[in-house]
A and B are shown apart, each in its own frame.
Chain A
Amino acid sequence: MYETSYHRADSVADAASKIGDEGKYLAGGMTLLPTMKQRLAAPDTLVDLTHIGDLKGVSVNGKEVRIGAMTTHAEVNGDAALQSACPSLAKLAGGIGDPAVRHRGTIGGSIANHDPAADYPAAMLALNATIHTDSREISADDFFSGMFETALNEGEIVTAISFTAPDKGAYEKFRNPASRYAMAGVFVADHGGDVRVGVSGAYSNGASRNSEMETALSGNLSADALDGVAVDAGDMLSDIHGSSDYRAHLVKVMAKRAVAAM
């Protein structure tokens, strides 16, 4: 790691004023810090967002859910109101990484990083979530623009995510045997018969929806409904852990299992 200066922000405005040209916002640091240790990133300033009270916590009002960006995976997993309103998301959070990761990593950090194999992005797409920043609101569909790329502008801070809880939802993933990240993570959410399917880990452009599956499932929410759907391997990642054909196959298998679990 190269030398860097650290600033603990006490408000969003304070954070934005400190970031400078070569700084980086620090959330849980689950990706940024290892990258810095390997000298692959060398920000001159780290602005720590995790102590800003406004960015933390889960609030549930009927079916309306809002989660502060600096809420940890463990907090999302353990929130009783969320477990009742949207158990699928709480369960997803409980399956991210390991206990240490879940107590440091945050939802805002995860989606802002948009690791293609992270779990939350699939959920944001399927839940039709809104990403709140310090300057605007962005729909999940517009937010995830490519592998490790988002619609965020330079210096823009994710403050929260919000969504209307679906009638039902489920997330199933197949873990990479080495990294344990998702090789195919599929979140299926039923919004009053309108089904959305978000996929992490498999697509080469990052988290994506699968419209063929959505069409097949809307109106017939059963695993069998997916039998006739062909998942196009052409859009999929291919590496030593699995070819694009294997990933395409996994997406379908995970989608069917998610539907079966709903």
Chain B
Amino acid sequence: MASHLDSNVIPPSRQRETPRAGLTWIGQSMKRVEDPRILSGKGGYIDDVKVPGMAHAAMVSSPHAHARIVSIDTSKAEELPGVIGVYTGEDVATVVDPCPSFASPPVTQHAMAIDKVRHVGEVVAAVVAEDRYIAEDAAALIEVEWDVLPAMVDIEASLEAMGDGVLHPDDRESNKALDESFEFGPVSEDFDAADRIIKRRLRWNRSSAQAIETCGVISQWDAFKGGYTIHANTNFYNFIPFVIGGSLRVSPGEMRIIPVLTGGSFGSKVFIHKIIIMTSALSRLSGVPVKYIEDRLEHFTNSDSHGSDRLYDAELAINDDGTFKSLRFTVLDDYGAYLQFGVGTHGNAMAQVTGPYQIGSFGMRVIAVLTNKTQQGPYRGFGSEVTNWVMERMADAAAEELGRDPLELREQNMIQPDQFPYMIPTGNIYDSGNFQKVLGEAKSLFDLDAWRKKAADMRAEGRCVGIGVATCMERSVYGPTEWWSLNNKETPGFTLTSTPEGISARIDPSGKLFVTLHSPMVGNSPETVVTQILAERLTVAPEDVVINYSDSQSGFNGVGPQGSRFTAMVAGACVSAAIKLEERLKRFGAHMLQRRPEDMELRDGKVAVKGLKDQETSFADIALNSSFFRLSFPDGEEFDSGLETTAVYDHPLSTDPHEDREHLGIFYPIVGHICHIVAVEVDPGTGKVEMLDYAAVHDNGTIVNPRTLAGQVWGGTANGIGTTLSEQFNYDESGQFVNPNFAEFAMPTANEMPRNFKLGHVETPSPYTEYGIKGGGEGGRLGAPSALTSAVEDALQNYGVKISALPITPPVLRGLIREAEQAA
């Protein structure tokens, strides 16, 4: 039977290192090589960097959600001793152009607002001064006259706005930035043929990651070379010059972006292009290097990294026997005042929108809405955490309406182990998996049968105890089409790169392996995993691997840690580099031992003759000879001095979207699977949720380092717990951001984490990546909200409470309980 997926052909695997048992370093819980310098305070973060002659910037931010700038009086600030210059958006626009936008058509955003502000916290003026104290004092002396406009806060109301309520009247007639519909497969037919349609309205509210470190930049304009030297804690330093060169009116090569150790990102520092552009403009205007570090308030209100803010009307078509047939939904997403990445967060979600289930078709209408809030940006999950939650809510709803056990219903619909690679209706594939095994491990780790009995007993005593299970996907190793595949079909935008990752490697005459990375350390473990993979492939000792970072002029392809891609991608670069180095090592070593290269093997940091114990020479000897004693070797380019190489690994498996968007191609194929099971008790008097027990089993393919992966899972789960139970950015009717601080924004601490978090792993290796590695940076947050929501609903079964919106804070839950009490 013809299918809309027929044109989406899966390319063959390019895997070189097969997954296998008996590896030496891959799979070891090696201590992180990054830790000693970080833990001793020697890491070197952005605020530690000082450049000679450096001045400091402080910003004047909008107190209004939506207003015209009538006038800005900077005269008092300019007179303050120590002030070097005061600049408004119009000044900044003389040296830079608007920020890059992935939206189609673009939404214009200036790094510093001109004429109009569109959210609280948007910067309208800056002071550059000798120190930050003076800069802040001067900023307080700047007087702005405002003409306040109606604030658009509600997602649905903003869609109806006219006149002064329209945020970007020059670009668009309304606040609807995009409205596109898609059908992947026979959605209407499947719905018509189904026995039942389950419907739910589901709301996911906005919050964001709050890393310990805010975003920061030091930029220095070089009037002679005509470029910028920039220190910044961006995740993306080898790529960002190509994104912002146009805005800065310089060619990418004229920017030298120097990475720093980054104090946490969780997505929030993926680009940080706006403050790079703004700070660079200030340097160019003032003629001195300028440092700008966001304070916490600025990070909350102006860092363009708010998470998804969505309203779903979702429908699941099922048969009475429990078979899931088709899923469709209309989703409104409150993107805030701008649209930097278009609807990339929905593109991302298309990678796994139907979850681990066999669902034949999928339809969606996505409406991106502009409102007077800080714009969205990346946050761990990048939109897929929301669709995971929607899918799992719908699975629970189906179980309830059919009177079925929710776990059994899930198992009935799960993709079977022999169905991989499995293509979902959107065209993405799941490369491999064994969901049944993950579920089995989780049940046993949690002791589900015993807990179910115990929970029933506790409920019989009047306690509100419940258990929730989530079986979710964790897509990893993103492909670039997620950024544009859902764009307006007439103007889809652009094709991006293959999202490559590279390294360079050199064995020096001392025998050390010097490796240069082209992506920064953002709190993940790039040095540790690269050390382990190269130690494995080249048989060197981990202590002989020395890691450094390039800058953007010395570096090359590196897309960085995002989309759970870094470890799997850099592993490919490591393998490529090792293959090249091995060839040279064997060529030189064979000559030194008077053998043929094909007789040689790598053994414990030596080149050795296969099968002969004493016939060997160390990498150090080879490097010494090849570097310094070229004349000992034959003529010919193949014996050119030195043992060094560069290597780039391109995305292992991607195909283009169908021109008519019948499918989106393969773009996020390396999938992990996660099962979270949690037992909670709800205090019906206060609405507070306590986690009694928690088990998480993740399948991230071959594990490079169980310790660092565990850190990712725990951290992501903590994020997910915050998203579910406490975190929400509150805006009042006038568009004021009510809680941009830690006294008001309820981020969980260690106190709120489950006391006995149990972590298990299943390893189903990918057939497409080196060694079968899959990504694992987001899974905790991709699973925890679904499991916790189900558990809370289960705990409140005696009240009949249904959860359709997050977060479920104590007053929210107490309100639901009270409604149920009053109804009873």
User: Which residues does A use to contact B, with CB under 8 Å?
Assistant: 39, 174, 176-179, 240-243, 246, 249-250, 253, 257
CA of A242 to CA of B811 in the docked complex: distance in angstroms? 6
Partner of B688, one of A39, A174, A240: A174
Interfacial residues of chain B within 669-695, with CB under 8 A of chain A in the complex: 685-686, 688
Q: Is the CB of B738 within 8 A of A240?
A: yes
Tell me, rounded to whole Å, the shortest Cβ–Cβ distance linking B696 to chain A: 23
Q: Which residues of B contact A240 (CB under 8 A)?
A: 730, 738-739, 744
Residues of B within 8 A of A177 (CB): 725-726, 746, 809-810
Given A177-B726, A240-B730, A250–B686 Cβ distance below 8 Å? yes
Chain A residues positioned under 8 Å from B742 (CB to CB)? 178-179
Residue of A nearest to B748 (CB): A177
Could you say which of B136, B685, B726, B810 contacts A242, with CB atoms under 8 Å apart?
B810
Indicate if the CB atoms of B811 and A246 lie closer than 8 Å.
yes
In the docked arrangement, what's the CA distance between A39 and B58, Å? 15
Please pick, from A178, A242, A257, the residue contacting B744 in the complex, using a CB distance under 8 A.
A178
Closest residue of chain B to A174 (Cβ to Cβ) is B686
Q: Mark B785-824, 1 if CB is under 8 A from A, else 0.
A: 0000000000000000000000001110011001000000
Does the CB pair A253–B686 fall under 8 Å?
yes
Nearest-Cβ distance from residue B822 to partner chain A, whole angstroms = 12
A179 x B743 contact (CB < 8 A): yes
A253 close to B685 (CB less than 8 A):
yes
Subset of 24 A-B contacts with CB under 8 Å: A39-B136, A174-B686, A177-B725, A177-B810, A178-B726, A178-B742, A178-B745, A178-B746, A179-B744, A240-B738, A241-B744, A241-B746, A241-B811, A242-B810, A242-B811, A246-B811, A246-B814, A246-B815, A249-B685, A249-B818, A250-B686, A253-B685, A253-B686, A257-B685
- In the complex, chain B residues whose CB is within 8 Å of the CB of A178: 726, 739, 742-747
Determine the residue in chain A with the shortest Cβ distance to B686.
A174
Q: Mark B714-735, 1 if CB is under 8 A from A, else 0.
A: 0000000000011000100000
Hey, which chain B residues are within 8 Å of A249, CB to CB?
685, 814, 818
Q: Apart from A240-B738, A250-B686, what are 14 other A-B pairs with CB-CB below 8 Å?
A: A174-B686, A174-B688, A176-B746, A177-B726, A177-B809, A177-B810, A178-B739, A178-B747, A179-B743, A179-B744, A241-B811, A246-B814, A246-B815, A249-B685
Q: How far is the CA of A253 from the CA of B684 in the complex (A)?
A: 10
- Give the residue name and chain of the A residue nearest to B815 (CB): A246
Number of chain B residues close to chain A: CB under 8 A: 21
Cα distance A242–B746 when bound, in Å? 13
Nearest-neighbour CB distance to chain B for A170, whole angstroms, equals: 16
Among the interface residues A177, A178, A249, which one has the most CB atoms of the partner chain B within 10 A? A177
> Which chain B residue shows the least CB distance to A256?
B685
| Cα distance A257–B742 in the bound complex, in angstroms | 29
Per the bound structure, the CA–CA distance linking A255 and B152 in Å amounts to: 42
Specify the chain B residue showing the minimal Cβ separation from A247.
B811
Say what secondary structure dominates the interface of chain B.
loop
Q: For the complex, what is the distance from the CA of A243 to the CA of B810, rounded to whole Å?
A: 11
Min CB gap B297→A, angstroms: 10
Cα distance A177–B730 in the bound complex, in angstroms = 14
CB distance from B808 to the nearest CB of A (A): 11
Using an 8 Å CB-CB cutoff, how does the interface string of B115-147 with A read, 1 for contact, 0 for none?
000000000000000000000100000000000
CA A243 – CA B814 in complex, angstroms? 11
Q: How far is the CA of A211 from the CA of B744 in the complex (A)?
A: 31
Rounded to whole Å, the gap between the CB of B357 and the closest CB of chain A is 34
Contact with A along B730-772 (1 / 0, CB 8 A): 1000000011001111110000000000000000000000000
Provide the bound-state CA to CA distance between A174 and B738, in Å. 22
Separation of A39 and B686 alpha carbons in the complex (Å): 36
Please indicate the chain A residues that have their CB under 8 angstroms from the CB of B136 in the complex: 39
Chain B residues with CB under 8 Å of A241's CB are: 744, 746, 809, 811
Which residue from chain B places its CB closest to the CB of A181 in the assembled complex?
A: B743
**Chain A nearest CB, measured from B792 CB (Å):** 15
A78 → chain B closest CB, angstroms: 21
Chain B residues near A243 (CB, 8 Å)?
A: 811
- Residue of B at shortest CB range from A1? B133
Residues of B within 8 A of A253 (CB): 685-686
Residue picked from A240, A241, A257, most chain B C-beta under 10 Å: A240
The smallest C-beta distance from B362 to any residue of chain A, in angstroms, reads: 36
Question: Given the complex of chains A and B, what is the CA–CA distance between A240 and B746 in angstroms?
Answer: 11
Q: In whole angstroms, what is the CA distance A6 to B746 when docked?
A: 35
User: How far is B809's CA from A250's CA once the two chains are assembled, in angstroms?
Assistant: 14
What 9 pairs between A and B have smallest CB-CB spacing? A178-B746, A177-B746, A253-B685, A179-B743, A242-B811, A246-B811, A240-B730, A177-B726, A178-B744
In the assembled complex, which residues on chain A have CB atoms less than 8 Å from the CB atom of B810?
174, 177, 242
Residues on A with C-beta less than 8 A from B811 are 241-243, 246
**Chain A residue nearest to B730 in the complex (CB):** A240
Report the minimum CB–CB distance from B226 to chain A (whole Å): 39
Contacts of B738 in A (CB 8 A): 240
Q: How far is the CB of A134 from chain B (nearest CB, A)?
A: 32
Complex CA–CA separation, A161 to B818 (angstroms):
41
Q: Once the chains are docked, how many angstroms separate the CA of A174 from the CA of B687?
A: 11
CB neighbours of B730 from chain A (8 A): 240
Residue in A closest to B732 when the chains form the complex, CB atoms: A240
Q: Which residue of A lies closest to B726 (CB)?
A: A177
* Least CB distance, B741 to chain A, in whole angstroms: 9
Interface string of B631-668 (1 = CB under 8 A from A): 00000000000000000000000000000000000000
Chain A contacts of B818 at CB under 8 A?
249
In the assembled complex, which residues on chain A have CB atoms less than 8 Å from the CB atom of B725? Answer: 177
A259 to B227, CA, bound (A): 71
Closest to A257 in B: B685
Q: A174 contacts which chain B residues (CB < 8 A)?
A: 686, 688, 810
Complex Cα–Cα for A246 and B815 (A): 8
With a cutoff of 8 Å between Cβ atoms, the chain A residues found around residue B744 in the complex are 178-179, 240-241
Contacts of B745 in A (CB 8 A): 178
Give chain B residues whose Cβ lies under 8 Å from the Cβ of A246.
811, 814-815
CA gap between A243 and B811 in the complex, in Å: 8
What are the interface flags for B19-36 relative to A under an 8 Å C-beta threshold, 1 for contact and 0 otherwise? Answer: 000000000000000000
Closest to B725 in A: A177
A106–B143 Cα gap in the complex (Å)? Answer: 41
Give the residues in chain B near A176, CB-CB below 8 Å: 746
- Considering only CB atoms, which chain B residue lies closest to A252 in the complex? B685
In angstroms, Cα B818 to Cα A97, docked, is 30
What residues of A have a CB within 8 angstroms of the CB of B815 in the complex?
Answer: 246
Cα distance A176–B688 in the bound complex, in angstroms:
11
State the Cβ distance, B710 to closest chain A Cβ, in Å: 26
Chain A residue with Cβ nearest B687: A246
Question: What's the Cα separation between A242 and B686 when bound, in Å?
Answer: 11
Report A198 CB to chain B, min CB distance, Å. 19
Give Cα distance in the complex from A240 to B818, angstroms: 18
- Give the distance to chain A from B152, nearest Cβ to Cβ, in Å: 20
CB distance from B299 to the nearest CB of A (A): 15
B80 smallest CB distance to A (angstroms): 14
Cα–Cα, bound, A39→B139 (Å):
14
